[in-house]
Structure 1
Amino acid sequence: MRLRNKPWADDYMNENSHIVIADPFSKKGKWATEFENDHPIHIEIGTGKGQFITGMSKKNPNTNFIGIERVKSVIVGAVKKVKEAEVANTRLLNEDADDLRELFEESEVEQIYLNFSDPWPKARHEKRRLTFKTFLEQYQSILKPDGTIVMKTDNRQLFEYSLVSFSQAGWTLEEVSLNLHDLEDPTNVMTEYEGKFSEQGHPIYRCVVRVP
């Protein structure tokens, strides 16, 4: 689906520079200073319209959340949600996270969320999957020792691929759920896609992985 261009997006983000960080690369190793506290840092790759990160921020006021979304016309929706929720523990980055090591120092992050990432089903696109080995190397670098990744998807093939990828990297699978909503987990915050797919009867897969 083609996204509608929003010509006002740049102005809106500039007006809310306390939420959208204009030069996030300068914050590398200094995110604690940005938040003015030493709370754990959790990042979401592919924030979308911000339902998940806003909900998590409300539930966890003593955790700092950073959402990364490359599509300008999408991230403005997240900015609006964060602004309306009046949560002080959230920042958004309008960046294409080609290499997270340019945004975060080694061991600066405690947890990473991969929510409904593009499955890139064709074999020739394997390197674009966010659980391909080169991405796992980035995650391991920026995560603290014993840091975790929480992945949710409705795509069975991507889920199975990711479980193998995590295992081959020598990471510990702490949870594997083939139908998340059967667990009735009170800590789970749904994304926009999760709500839509769940209503359609699709199972939601989740895994929690701990790095060495």
Structure 2
Amino acid sequence: MRTRKKAITRDQLTHYDNYICTNPEDYRSKWHEYFSNDNKIHVELGTGRGKFLITLAQRNPHINYIGLEMKEPLIFDAVFKAQNIRLNNIAFLHYNAYNLEKTFSDKEVDLLFINFCDPWPKKRWAKRRLIHGNFLVIYNRLLNNGSEIHFKTDNEKLFEFSLNEFCQYDYKLKNITFDLHNTEAPDIVTTEYEDKFVSKGMRIYRCEAVNRETDC
């Protein structure tokens, strides 16, 4: 008989405060103090079990990485992975991306990753999509001038929607691909979801959007 995995509680998450920041709002505009350095800050919305962000953190020790995730079991798995390899340039937030402005101040983020977010397929749900224009306005404030959003999805309609939204809100698009794993893109870093999709022969859509310059 298959046993059910025991649920992780929020109290248990506080036992891993070396990797989980339980008071992220206190570090708004102070993330360099949290990491005790002035390195650039790269953020992933919906980090899942952490494969993508942890791989980047291993490869780039000179960059600070922050992953937001709402599901306790997933963030717990990510923390175990980071702890096992003793990373010191990564942090995880058990936090909703909808509250991003409470966590980061203007121009505090240098790169934003949005990987395989919920497509919210119905038209009336469009404003919930993390690449809807309402969010793009917020991201533009939080991102340093000339910084980028890297977006990946397996959903073609969501990808087309994202391209239109990026253009409408004055982001400059580059490196657009409608089949990432059948291109010559070098050294692709994947997520757990992405590995499953690719193994089933599904296409992965990706683009990079450069934010417009704004005054602080």
* Fold shared by both chains (TM-score > 0.5): yes
Aligned residue in 2 for 1:70: 70
CA–CA distance in 2 between the matches of 1:187 and 1:86?
23
Give TM-score, length-normalised by structure 1. 0.94
Residue 16 of structure 2 corresponds to 16
Write out aligned runs for 1:31-180 (5 A).
31-180=31-180
Aligned CA-pair RMSD:
1.4
CA deviations over 1:166-191 (Å, ceiling 9, x no partner): 00001100110111112343342100
Deviation at 1:203, TM superposition (A): 1.0
> 1:65/1:163 Cα in 2 relative to 1: closer, same or farther (>3 Å)?
same
**Whole-angstrom CA distance in 2 between matches of 1:8 and 1:180:** 35
Contact 2:8-2:73 within 8 A present in 1 as well: no
**Contact 1:104/1:142 (<8 A) preserved:** yes
CA distance, structure 2, for counterparts of residue 95 and residue 85 of structure 1 = 24
- Residue pair 1:21, 1:93 contacting (<8 A) in 2 also: yes
Unaligned runs of 5+ in 1: none
SS at match of 1:99: helix
- Contact kept, 8 Å, 1:12 with 1:76, in 2: the verdict is no
Alignment CA distance shift 1:102-1:125 (3 Å): same
TM-score of the superposed pair, with normalisation by structure 2: 0.93
Whole-Å separation in 2 of the counterparts to 1:152 and 1:8: 28
CA distance in 1, matches of 2:184, 2:72: 34
Q: Secondary structure at the match of 1:14?
A: helix
Number of matched pairs: 209
Structure 2, unmatched stretches of 5+, are: none
Mapping 1:182-193, distance limit 5 Å? 182-193=182-193
Amino acid at match of 2:50: G
- Please state whether the residue corresponding to 1:110 is helix, strand or coil: strand
SS across alignment from 1:98: helix
